[in-house]
Amino acid sequence: MAVALRPGYGAYAASKAAVEAMVKILAKELKGTRITANCVAPGPIATEMFFEGKSEEMVNRIVEENPLGRLGVPEDVAPLVGFLVSDAGEWVNGQIVRVNGGYI
């Protein structure tokens, strides 16, 4: 939502944008520690929290808006998180990684 900026999500989008800004600053503040700071920003993921308060029509509209034609699942996000916390992700720092199937 920090990118989509959809009506009705003002407070939610603002909180996500704040996290994204803090991650970029934290990455600089951690200079010299070999600790990286990144943000994983998943799109619509089929979890209890996602479905809460949404009608079937609303969910179907979100699925239709996604270029991959489906909701994400936690298994779509987990490999990226695993990469970032591994030695292989050492050179990724201060990044916002959107895992959303192209949904904006």
| Residue pLDDT, tens place only, 39-98 | 999 999 999 999 999 999 999 999 999 999 999 999 999 999 999 999 999 999 999 999
Q: What is the pTM of this model?
A: 0.84
Write out the catalytic residue numbers: 12
The DSSP secondary-structure symbol of 89 reads G
Name the phi and psi angles at 14, rounded to 5.
Answer: -65, -40
Domains of the chain: 10-99 (3.40.50.720)
